[in-house]
Amino acid sequence: MAEKKTTIDVGDGAAIPTKHDIGLFSAWWIALIGALGIITYLSVFKPDPYWRILKFLPDGVLVTFQVTILSIILALILGLFTGLGRISKNRAVNLIASTYVEVVRGIPLLVQLFYIYFALGQVFANLPDSNFVFVFLKNMPPLVAAVIAMGFCYGAYMGEVFRAGIQSIDKGQTEAARSLGFNRRQTMFYVILPQAWRTILPPVGNEFIALLKDSSLVSILAVSDILRRGREFASVTFNYFETYTMVALVYLVITLLLSKAVSSMEERLNYYGRR
Amino acid sequence: MLKRVFLTGFLLVTLSSMAWAQKTITFASDCTWPPMEMMSEQKECIGFGPDLVNAMAKAGGFNVVIQNTAWDGIFAGLAMGKYNAISSSVSITEERKATMDFSDPYFEVKQGVVVREDSPFKSEADLAGKTVGAQIGTTGYFAAMRIVGDKAKSYDEVGLAITDLANGRIDAVICDDAVAADYALMNPDYADKLAMPFVIVPDEPEYLGFAVKKGDSETLEAINKALTAVRDSGEYDQIYKKWFGSE
């Protein structure tokens, strides 16, 4: 009688596919090659209007990147402080950070954009020229307003990412550091945060991609990003189908490349899963 | 008993709708263009356009439904058949004529330039190199592109452009002169902050028309006939007087 198999392979059940399962890999390639292929095909064989549309978009791509990168930097700074504030023992700091997260997460990003740009803009416009902060607020260019709005919103989400990352570090690390004579601040900056980065960075990468996609919302503030450029083109030529096809494909190519970068970064950081 | 009530009600509704079997023309309007089309606090689209359309419906013997539609995409909706016509201060241009048909003109516009009260701009040439805003896809935006090229900024609604102008973020806004005058002279929030120093004189006069789907001659004919009737009866002049004060 044959030996009865007693072990169960992890792959037998409803497990999450790894990168070694070809499926995930090829989906990414199909999407990327498909998108690039369609863009190339349309621009070469139907230059009117597709090539014209493609030529119209690049400065929009630049603006989208500007908004995204500046916003993520602002969001990271805000997020770090919010995350630290959320786990702070100081009641006032904790309350401020938590309230910020609650308020921002409860208001749609589009409404926040309108609020910071148009509603506060009206308030700023009536400020006196008495000091440089007022003057800056008064003459704030739309791009800066958009970045502040996006960064302010994503800072709250980022704060949660930071908090979760810090809390994921075993309590023993803190205890060890404290017993070695580190004070609370030193423990956080020399022991906990360097380790927490590993947990924090992958979700930050995902937030980055999400922010890039959400940056299309700033087109409502007359910031000339990819979507706004596309809408301007369509409003003149009435080529809605062709224009939005191109806009969607350009976004797709950008996010696909970024998601690849994020996932390879994730792999490099994944010490625990390394074989 | 209840059944009979329902049946009678149903019959009544059917009969009455048969008796009133008039053609219904659905008009799309972007109600953010005062005083031509705007939203009242009762959430009705009011203004010169809706008044004219309603008068035309009475004269032409058809029902009218005005559907508030965002400007960006209003032409796409017409092509898709979501409504029969557009009554939204649409200027008749050669480019637009290629994709849709227009009724007889019902209004003449020029492009008005709105600036802040303290601005030095007195002519088109002064605007060179300045940031000029306009509503996306309007003839005002086309004029802005012609004058300042890439410095033209497109907004979803003219009201947002005016807000940015009043808040000091852009230098000028170009829109139909009737709308420009409304913001610069009549609007309680802006009248003392904004001014309309000049209008852009076009090479050829610019007219507003009702747009219908290309080839929809039936709707076009009904609209043209009604428009002529309203003009002949003097009702047009009354509506004009109501919204613009003079003739």
Is B157 near chain A, with CB under 8 Å? no
Domain assignment of residue B231, given as a range: 23-108+207-244
Residue numbers in B near A220 (CB within 8 A): 156
Domain total for chain B? 2
What sign does the dihedral B90-B95-B101-B102 (CA atoms) show? positive
> In degrees to the nearest 10, what's the CA dihedral of A231, A235, A237, A242?
40
Mean pLDDT in residue range B89-99: 93
Say if residue A38 is exposed, middle or buried (CB neighbours under 10 Å; 0-12, 13-18, 19+): middle
Lowest-confidence segment of A67-76, B10-19, B121-130, B173-182 by average pLDDT: B10-19
Q: Is residue A19 part of a domain?
A: no
B169 with A121: Cβ contact below 8 A:
yes
Task: Evaluate if residue B139 carries a pLDDT over 90.
Answer: yes
Residue of A116, A235, A247 to mutate when probing chain B, most B C-beta within 10 A: A235
Instruction: Specify if A189 maps to a domain.
Output: yes
Q: Do residue A216 and residue A254 come from a single domain?
A: no
Lowest mean pLDDT among B4-13, B22-31, B233-242: B4-13
DSSP E strand stretches across chain B: 24-29, 32-33, 37-39, 45-46, 63-68, 85-91, 100-102, 107-109, 111-116, 132-135, 152-155, 172-176, 194-200, 206-213
pTM of the model: 0.80
Q: Is the same domain home to B216 and B227? A: yes
- Does residue A275 have a pLDDT over 50? no
ipTM of the complex: 0.73
B116 with B161, same domain: the answer is yes
Tell which residue, A116, A122, A133, A110, has the closest CA to residue A217: A110
**3-state secondary structure at position B128:** coil
Contacts of A231 in chain B (CB under 8 A): 72, 136, 154
Contacts of A134-139 with CB under 8 Å at 24 or more apart are A138/B168, A139/B168, A139/B169
Give per-residue pLDDT as tens, A38-78. 999 999 999 888 999 999 899 999 999 999 999 999 999 99
pLDDT digits (tens, 9 = 90+) for A166-225: 999 999 999 999 999 999 889 999 999 888 888 888 889 999 999 999 999 998 888 889
Assess whether A86 and A198 both reside in one domain: yes
Same domain, A41 and A160: no
Does residue A3 form part of some domain? no
Confidence of residue B13 (pLDDT cuts 50, 70, 90): low
Query: Same structural domain for residues A194 and A87?
Result: yes
- Whether A50 and A77 map to the same domain: the answer is no
Whether residue B56 is contained in a domain is answered as yes
Output the CA–CA distances (angstroms, integers) from residue A9 to A14, A93, A274, in the order listed.
11, 49, 19
Residue numbers of the domain that contains A39 = 27-56+226-263
How many Å apart are CA A181 and CA A190, to the nearest integer? 12
- Which residues on B lie below 8 Å from A118 (Cβ)? 160, 163-164
Are residues A185 and A234 both part of a single domain?
Answer: no
The Cα A235–Cα B74 span in angstroms is: 10
Distance separating alpha carbons of residues B134 and B155, to the nearest angstrom = 6
Check residue A10 and give its pLDDT: 56
- For residue B17, is it within any domain? no
| Domain presence at residue B18 | no
Average pLDDT score over residue span A130-154: 84
- Tell me how many domains chain A contains: 2
Task: Select the more confidently predicted residue: B247 or A87.
Answer: A87
Select the more confidently predicted residue: B4 or B71.
B71
What are the helix and strand counts (H, E) for chain B? 9, 14
pLDDT band at A116 (very low <50, low <70, confident <90, very high): confident
Q: Quote the pLDDT of residue A152.
A: 92
Residue A23 has pLDDT above 70, yes or no: no
Residue B155 shares a structural domain with residue B87: no
Q: Which two tokens stand for residue A39?
A: 């863009």
Same domain, B92 and B122: no
For residues A72 and A207, the answer to whether their CB atoms sit within 8 Å is: yes
Alpha helices in A46-139 (DSSP H): 47-56, 58-86, 91-105, 109-114, 120-125, 132-138
What chain A residue is nearest to B153 in terms of C-alpha separation?
A222
Q: Return phi, psi of residue A258, to 5°.
A: -65, -40
Give the mean pLDDT of chain B. Answer: 89
Task: Name the residue of chain A whose CA is nearest to B150's CA.
Answer: A224
Quick one: A31 and A140 in the same domain?
no
Q: Does residue B164 form part of some domain? A: yes
Judge whether B226 lies within some domain: yes
Question: Looking at residues A129-142, what average pLDDT do you find?
Answer: 80
Q: Is residue A115 part of a domain?
A: yes
Task: Indicate whether B93 and B122 sit together in one domain.
Answer: no
Task: Tell me: do B151 and B223 sit in the same domain.
Answer: no
